[in-house]
Structure 1
Amino acid sequence: MFIGYAIFYLTRKSFTFAMPFLISDLGFSKGELGILGTVLSLTYGLSKLVNGVLGDRTNARTFMAVGLILTGLFNIFFGFSSSLFLFAIFWACNGWFQGLGWPPCARLLTHWYSRSERGSWWSQWNISHNVGGAIIPVLGAYLAYQGGWRMAMFIPGIIAIFTGIFLLNRLRDTPESLGLPPIDVYRSDMEIVSDAQADSQGLSARDILVKYILTNPLIWMLAVASFLVYIVRMGVNDWTALFLVETKSYSAVTAGYCVSLFEIGGFFGSLVAGFSSDYFFEAKRGPVNAIFAFGILFSLVAFWWIPPGYPILDGIAMFFVGFSVFGPQMLIGVAAAEFVHKKAAASSTGFLGWFAYAGAATAGWPLGAIAEQGWDGFFVVLITCSALSLLVLLYLWNAGVSREEEETGLATELAT
């Protein structure tokens, strides 16, 4: 699961680090390339919503492996193309099949790990984003320099196809599919929505969407927060390499190293957020989300104000932006899975995924158009989004229940 999702990330971000070469070799503008980012984000977000519901009823092994193989194929098709129209078609297809990666992971994480340990394990899985995200800036830039931008699309695609075949052989579905007891029963660690256990067995897709998601105010608040956080995350991830090249005269490789530090910071931020929410906040995700959201605001302002000629400081700032962003990026998903029944976890996180990648789509063409007019406006948008996300997550500070409250009988069913 970890390896598979890291490779999903390679094939999702391969285009990002080919962008400077698409501008120089094929003459595309930032706005045109932003359209491709928006296309991927919209199709990916819609796919997460649709396939989230399907993912609650589908074997995780097959679902994830097939998605990875197909994303690899469409990366290769992209590399054989030269027109904006074909780029958009193939990148939209890539976005759709990228949406087959997250739902099986949410299903596996909620079925194999109980609530009291889930934040820690989820955070360890979540760093697969950062492993893939740290590899692709360096690998993509190197491949583009050595073999042209097409090679930066071919190699991640080939890696994805072989990894998908590996997942078909090695990945497994839920404990129950192997004859094992449910994890909450095995560990005597009940879920927040534990008294829905009996009526969860025959839930239709409509039941899941209406009962646990569309009428759940906590899920809607998390969706708004996820939308805002993803504008920041994707804005930084997709555009700061170009920002550093254009405004600070860094080489593409140096800029790629700085963006890699964003992912490395996210690696540590995910781990700290997950473990601290489990062991210092009694499995309550709200306080940690809010604290990390404040860190996003502070570190973004610091990065914006660093003058040209200080790549080490830029790298340090990128590290702390990544550290702060990936805390709520991960824990918002954990909270969404815990505010519904675990059999609706993929649907819930898929619903949030649609909002998240609506935010990511906003970080595509709209942010690209703003950046065309000047990078100051770009940073004003990101800082505004980070401030709004902080306000939403402060409101959710006390959402959820602690393990101590569960043990004393004070837990309530928050999703109904």
Structure 2
Amino acid sequence: MLFITMFCYLFFYTGRHNFGWATKAMREDLGISYTFIGWISFAMLIGYSLGQFINGNLADRFNPKYLVPIGAYLSIACNLGISFTHSPYIILVLWFLNGYFQSMAWAPGGKIIANWFKTEEQNKAFGLYTMAAGFSSAVTFGISIYITSLHLDWRMLFRLPVLLLFISATVFLIFIKASPVPLERKSKGFDFAAIKKSYSEVLGHKKFRLVCLSFGLESMARYGLIFWVPVHFLGDNWKEDPSLIWVTFLLPLGMAFGAFSFGQLSTTLFKSNYKSIFIGMLVCCGLSFLLFFMHNANLVVIGFLLIACGFFVYGPQANFWALCPQIMGRERTGTAIGTMNMCGYLFAALGEPLLGYIIEKTGNTKFLFLVISIICLLSASIMYLIKEER
């Protein structure tokens, strides 16, 4: 069941990480600013954040087998809608809705994993699950880079990649089993008292709130890299030197390997999810700072820094997800994952227009690496304080 869930999520990002690759051509075609592009990305992340808050609890109450494919099919519809419109405001609305529909997968998938694995196995399981998300970024980057290199219209970035999502969601719907034992029907309708109790327990837990704050900053750094690194390397001369865009593929590749590795490192080397997260974010802070000064270095250096940055910015996510059932218990796993992811995407959403504004004002995309370095340092500092309190 883990591998079926991973297979489905492997192609989920084809419905949202494609946007950064369409940004430059979309901006030129529709005559919009980078700041407005940042607000479009903000809208998607807010939709995703809102959806996580809602769908995490739904995963605890209803069969996650159906939530995931429903979200996938509706996300595909939004992508196709964007590919046919010429209005930036319609794109903003559809991208917001797409964010909500994309949010219907992660927490339900995490609930399935929590149902199938014991506590001592969850770090490894969530590491593999997070690795699938990392490879999903790599798959989307690879497809998007290929489409871009063929000089196809930017609208094709919203039509072709999501075909893989349609296939994987259908496979998931047919073969997945949400739990090794039959799921109990919690109620015939919405039990608002039970829902209120779930959120009260999760939001009222001080340590969990601090972990969510650190996760929010980690997500802001991660999405800042995912969204703006393609913009940085899609300069005026990329057509003369296509290697400039292919090197960006190393960023999500590093993320994928980081997710799997940190799931193992937290139990074998660091002996703690808290320490693992702290070290990962601190190292990413240093790497981002180096990228700020070395963004024009040779491709070997840039490639190494990008893959290492991806490894350390995304790897700790496996530890964050494992903390959800460990802090809040298995019964609150869906609500905890949804709440944490809501916090993460809320912070990521706030970061997009901020980075767009900074790039617009400075006239240089290299400043995104400096801002991300500061964000990573803040995330690491919070985890250090939590680690010291334990």
Answer whether TM exceeds 0.5 for this pair.
yes
Q: Say which SS state the counterpart of residue 177 (structure 2) adopts.
A: coil
Letter in 2 for 1:81: T
Answer yes or no: is 1:270 the counterpart of 2:278.
Answer: no
Which residue, out of 229, 236, 239, partners 2:225?
236
Equivalent-residue separation in structure 2 for 1:245 and 1:178 (angstroms)? 49
Answer yes or no: is 1:141 the counterpart of 2:145.
Answer: yes
Give how far 1:162 is off.
2.9
Task: Determine the structure 2 residue equivalent to 1:48.
Answer: 52
Task: Determine the structure 2 residue equivalent to 1:315.
Answer: 303
Task: Determine the structure 1 residue equivalent to 2:216.
Answer: 227
Task: Determine the structure 1 residue equivalent to 2:71.
Answer: 67
Task: Determine the structure 1 residue equivalent to 2:166.
Answer: 161
Which residue, out of 79, 83, 86, partners 2:90?
86
Equivalent-residue separation in structure 1 for 2:345 and 2:247 (angstroms)? 24
Which residue, out of 372, 385, 394, partners 2:384?
394
Equivalent-residue separation in structure 2 for 1:172 and 1:203 (angstroms)? 28
Give how far 1:234 is off.
0.7
Q: Say which SS state the counterpart of residue 271 (structure 1) adopts.
A: helix
How many equivalent pairs are there? 375
Equivalent-residue separation in structure 1 for 2:319 and 2:207 (angstroms)? 14
Q: Say which SS state the counterpart of residue 397 (structure 1) adopts.
A: helix
Aligned Cα RMSD in Å?
2.1
Which residue, out of 349, 354, 361, partners 1:366?
354
Q: Which deviations, in whole Å up to 9, do the C-alpha atoms of 1:100-155 show, x marking residues without a partner?
A: 01111110121111111211111111111221111222311322434311111101
Q: Say which SS state the counterpart of residue 331 (structure 1) adopts.
A: helix
CA contact 1:286–1:399 (8 Å) conserved in 2: no
Q: Which deviations, in whole Å up to 9, do the C-alpha atoms of 1:214-234 show, x marking residues without a partner?
A: 110111101110111111101
CA contact 1:142–1:253 (8 Å) conserved in 2: no
Letter in 2 for 1:228: L
Letter in 2 for 1:258: V
C-alpha change, 1:255 and 1:60, in structure 2 (3 Å) is farther
Letter in 2 for 1:206: K
Equivalent-residue separation in structure 2 for 1:255 and 1:337 (angstroms)? 41
Which residue, out of 194, 207, 221, partners 2:197?
207
Letter in 2 for 1:355: C
C-alpha change, 1:23 and 1:255, in structure 2 (3 Å) is farther
| Percent identical residues | 20
Which residue, out of 281, 284, 289, partners 1:293?
281
Give how far 1:398 is off.
5.8
CA contact 1:68–1:163 (8 Å) conserved in 2: no
Give how far 1:376 is off.
5.2
Question: Structure 1 runs of 4+ off > 6 angstroms?
Answer: none
In the superposition, the TM-score normalised over structure 2's length comes to 0.91
C-alpha change, 1:307 and 1:342, in structure 2 (3 Å) is closer
Q: Say which SS state the counterpart of residue 235 (structure 2) adopts.
A: helix
C-alpha change, 1:56 and 1:399, in structure 2 (3 Å) is farther
> Where do residues 1-16 of structure 1 align in structure 2 (5 Å cutoff)?
1-16=5-20
Task: Determine the structure 1 residue equivalent to 2:374.
Answer: 384
C-alpha change, 1:203 and 1:274, in structure 2 (3 Å) is farther
CA contact 2:69–2:173 (8 Å) conserved in 1: yes
Task: Determine the structure 2 residue equivalent to 1:410.
Answer: none
Equivalent-residue separation in structure 1 for 2:311 and 2:389 (angstroms)? 23
CA contact 2:78–2:94 (8 Å) conserved in 1: yes
Give how far 1:316 is off.
0.9
Answer yes or no: is 1:305 the counterpart of 2:310.
Answer: no
Which residue, out of 29, 38, 41, partners 1:34?
38
Letter in 1 for 2:105: G
Answer yes or no: is 1:325 the counterpart of 2:313.
Answer: yes
Equivalent-residue separation in structure 2 for 1:319 and 1:14 (angstroms)? 19
Q: Which deviations, in whole Å up to 9, do the C-alpha atoms of 1:43-72 show, x marking residues without a partner?
A: 101100111111111111111111111111
Task: Determine the structure 2 residue equivalent to 1:351.
Answer: 339
CA contact 1:289–1:328 (8 Å) conserved in 2: yes
C-alpha change, 1:20 and 1:150, in structure 2 (3 Å) is same
Give how far 1:309 is off.
5.0
The range that moved more, 118-127 or 150-159, is 150-159
In the superposition, the TM-score normalised over structure 1's length comes to 0.85
CA contact 2:257–2:315 (8 Å) conserved in 1: no
Uncovered stretches (5+) of structure 1, i.e. residues with no partner: 180-201, 401-416
Letter in 2 for 1:77: G
Q: Which deviations, in whole Å up to 9, do the C-alpha atoms of 1:321-361 show, x marking residues without a partner?
A: 11101122221122123200211111111111111011211
Task: Determine the structure 1 residue equivalent to 2:181.
Answer: 176
Give how far 1:203 is off.
8.1
Equivalent-residue separation in structure 1 for 2:389 and 2:128 (angstroms)? 23
Q: Which deviations, in whole Å up to 9, do the C-alpha atoms of 1:162-200 show, x marking residues without a partner?
A: 322222101111112289xxxxxxxxxxxxxxxxxxxxx
The range that moved more, 55-64 or 138-147, is 138-147
Equivalent-residue separation in structure 1 for 2:76 and 2:85 (angstroms)? 15
Equivalent-residue separation in structure 2 for 1:269 and 1:296 (angstroms)? 12
Task: Determine the structure 2 residue equivalent to 1:113.
Answer: 117
